[in-house]
Amino acid sequence: MIITCRTCGKVFHVTDDELRLNGAGKIACPACGTLHETGSRDRPVERTSAGSGPAPISGTALKKRILRTVDELPPMPEVARKARRLLADERSSFGDLARVIETDQAIAARVLKIANSSYYGFTNRISSIQHAAAMLGMKTLNELLTFACTGSLLEGELTGYAMRSGDLWKHSLAVAACARSIAKEKKPALADDAFAAGLLHDCGKLILDSYIAERRDLFTAFLAEPETSFLEAEKELLGFDHAEIAAEICRKWQIPSPLTLAIKAHHKPTLVGENDLVFIVHAADAIALMSGIGSGIDGMKYEIDPVVMENLRITGNDIGLHMAEALEFVEETVDNL
């Protein structure tokens, strides 16, 4: 429960346990000591950060509003859906994939820009998608396509998460590169899925950002409690955390279910049992956050789960190598977009 003190205006959070212990009694404001009734008849009213005007909606109404915002997101470009179908068909060739990409000029132009970035290291300029397909192969071309389709969505500023324009994009690139690097070493067959899941893992932040910005003081008050995380604040104050909302977005975009699961569980990797893709994306996110690339307000609050460290057999030395790979990928590709 969030309380705004009627005397000094301080916004503070009272846990359910404190309310239970307190019964229908009084809670003192931690700043000025004013007592606030917590019983059902005289419950303090939630207010906006300015202490005036209507309180932001909460509970079921808020959850419905957030899910409606997911529905209003633009669909994934048609070219991405067609490419996914081709990749699932063993009879298709990289020429088929190139022809599909060429049907969307804006996406094709972005794919070419990335293919010509210094990261891929071609000395001669790649001039067409067909040329890129021949040089890179089908899997890398698909990786570039995912990259091109998600970039414009993830580039904006997220004020609720204190992320400047480009921060979420850089963080997502770092996680994608790091996840691919871990997968190549530990589970090579998962490298493509790890890259794609890494790119999309935090897309739920696109939806939750404005709701957090509207409730800045409530988040500040919640996080002032010891041992609270930003993820818990999302869940408590909005009804969803950003990983759950990312999974809703994945359903809307018809992202394959193994990727959706890895995205949904990226902060709670052990809840779904032992799952290599989930573990890889979780570890990559934590390593990318340690590197500080594009981290926002919640950046320093997450750590690698020890079960994941053990399961993937990740050492301190590995972390350094994967981090270096992520840094190189972000530095050498981001300026080309």
Residue 301 DSSP one-character state = G
Q: Residue 236 interacts with Fe ion (CB under 5 A)?
A: no
167 binds Fe ion (CB under 5 A): no
The residue range among 28-36, 72-80, 143-151, 280-288 that interacts with Fe ion, by the rule CB under 5 A, is 280-288
Q: How far is the CB of 242 from Fe ion (least distance, A)?
A: 6
Using CB under 5 A as the binding rule, whether residue 285 contacts Fe ion is answered as yes
151's CB contacts (< 8 A; 6+ apart) are: 110, 169, 337
* Nearer to Fe ion (CB atom), residue 167 or residue 202: 202
DSSP 300: G
Of 151, 140, 143, the residue nearest 110 (C-alpha): 151
Give yes or no for residue 234 binding Fe ion (CB under 5 A): no
* 202 touching Fe ion, by CB under 5 A: yes
**Pattern of binders to Fe ion over 18-57, x per CB under 5 A?**
----------------------------------------
Q: Which is nearer to Fe ion, 94 or 219 (CB)?
A: 219
Q: Where are the alpha helices (DSSP H) in 2-58?
A: 16-22
Cα–Cα dist 242/158, whole Å? 13
Name the minimum Å distance from CB 268 to Fe ion: 10
Query: Measured from the CB atom, is 94 or 195 closer to Fe ion?
Result: 195
Distance CA 179, CA 329 (A): 12
CB 264 within 8 A of CB 255: no
Q: Which is nearer to Fe ion, 167 or 285 (CB)?
A: 285
Say how far apart CA 184 and CA 178 lie, in whole Å: 10
Cβ 298 to Fe ion shortest distance, Å: 7
The rounded distance, in Å, linking the Cα atoms of 26 and 168 is 42
Torsion angles phi and psi, residue 2, rounded to 5: -105, 135
Shortest Cβ 166–Fe ion spacing (Å): 15
> Contact residues for Fe ion (CB under 5 A)?
202, 285
